[in-house]
Amino acid sequence: MLRYAIGRLLLVIPTIFGMVVLAFFMLRALPGDPATAILGEFATPQALERLRSSLRLDEPLLSQFYHYVTGMMTGDWGRSALTRKPAMAEVMSVVMPSMALAFASIFVAIVIGIPVGVLSAVKQGTGIDYLLVALTIIGISFPVFWLGLITIVVFAHTIPLFPAVGAGAPGSLLSQTHALVLPAIVLGSGGAAYIARLTRSSMLEVMNQDYILVARAMGISESRILFVYAMRSALPAILSVIGVTFAVSIGNAILVEVVFARPGLGSLIIKATFSRDYQLLQAGLLMLAVSVVLVNFVIDLLYPIIDPRLRR
Partner 1 sequence: MQDGGAVPNTADGNPSASTASGSRLSVRGLTVQFAMPMGIVRAVDNVSLDIAQGETVGVVGESGSGKSVTFLSVMGMVRQPGRIVAGSVELDGRDLSQLDREELRGIRGRDISMVFQDPQTSLNPVFPIGKQIVDVFRAHLPISKDEARRRALEVLDLVHIPEAKNRFDSFPHEFSGGMRQRVLIAMALALRPRFIIADEPTTALDVTMQAQILELLHELKQEINIGLVLITHDLGVVARSADRVIVMYGGKIVEQGDVRTIFYEPRHPYTVSLMRSMPRIDMVRGERLHSIGGSPPSLSGLPAGCAFHPRCFLGAERPKCRTETPELHDAGRGGHRSACHYANELELVSTDAPKVGEVVARAGAQTTGEALLEVRDLRMHYPAASFQVPWNRKVVKAVDGVSFSVREGETLGIVGESGCGKSTLGRCLIRLIEPTSGSIAFRGSEISHLGVRDMRALRTDIQMVFQDPYASLDPRMTVESILREPFEAHGQADARTTHKIKELMAHVGLNPEHIERRPHEFSGGQRQRIGIARALALKPKLIILDEPVSALDVSVQAQIINLLKDLQAEFKLTYLFIAHDLSVVRHICDRVMVMYLGRIIEAGDRDTLFADPRHPYTKVLLSAVPLPDPDKERARAHVVVPGSVPSPINPPRGCHFHPRCPSAAALAGSMPADELEQLADGGVLPKPCVNAYPDIGAEADGHVQACHFVGVDNQNTGTRGR
Partner 2 sequence: MTVSLDNGPVVAMPAWKRWMRSPYARHTGFLVGAGITVLFVFVALIGPFIAPYDPLATDLQNVLQPPGGEHLLGTDRYGRDIASRLLWGAQASLFVALAVGSLSLLFGVILGTLAGFVGGWTDRIMLAVINILLAFPGFLLALAFVAIRGSTLTNVILAVTLAYTPRVAIVMRAVVLNIRPRQFIEASFAVGVSTPTMIWKHVLPNCLPPVIVVATVSAAFAILAEAGLSFLGLGVQPPAPTWGNVITDGRPFLISDPWISISAGACIAVVVTGLNLLGDGVRDTLDPFLRNQTGARALK
Return residues touching partner 2 (CB under 8 A). 14-15, 18-19, 22, 26, 29-31, 133, 137-138, 140-146, 149-150, 152-153, 157, 194, 197-198, 201-202, 205, 237, 240-241, 244, 247-252, 254-255, 258, 269-270, 273-274, 278, 281, 285, 288-289, 292-293, 296
- The letter for the amino acid at 10 is L
Beta carbon of residue 178, minimum distance to partner 1 (angstroms, whole number)? 41
Nearer to partner 2, 121 or 289 (CB): 289
Distances (CA, A) of 21 to 6, 16, 78, 136, 258: 23, 9, 15, 37, 28
Provide the terminal-to-terminal Cα distance of the chain, rounded to the nearest Å. Answer: 6
Kindly tell me which of 9 and 214 has the beta carbon lying closer to partner 1. 214
Q: Quick check: 238 binds partner 1 (CB under 8 A)?
A: no
Tell me which of partner 1, partner 2, none is bound by residue 141, counting a contact when its beta carbon lies within the kind-specific cut-off of 5 to 8 angstroms: partner 2
The residue from 17, 161, 224, 227 that contacts partner 1 (CB under 8 A) is 224
Q: Which of 204, 220, 247, 299 binds partner 1 (CB under 8 A)?
A: 220
Instruction: Supply angle C-alpha 129, 195, 265, rounded to 5.
Output: 145
DSSP calls for 239-266: HHHHHHHHHHHHHHHHHHHHHTT--SHH
Q: Are 152 and 72 in contact (CB under 8 A)?
A: no
Q: Quote the Cα angle for 61-64-65, to 5°.
A: 85
Q: Which is nearer to partner 2, 114 or 198 (CB)?
A: 198
The span of 77-85, 98-106, 148-156, 213-221 binding partner 1 (CB under 8 A) equals 213-221
Q: Would you report the helix, strand and coil content of the chain in percent, each value rounded to 5?
A: 80, 0, 20
Selected from 213, 261, 294, 298, the binder of partner 1 by CB under 8 A is 213
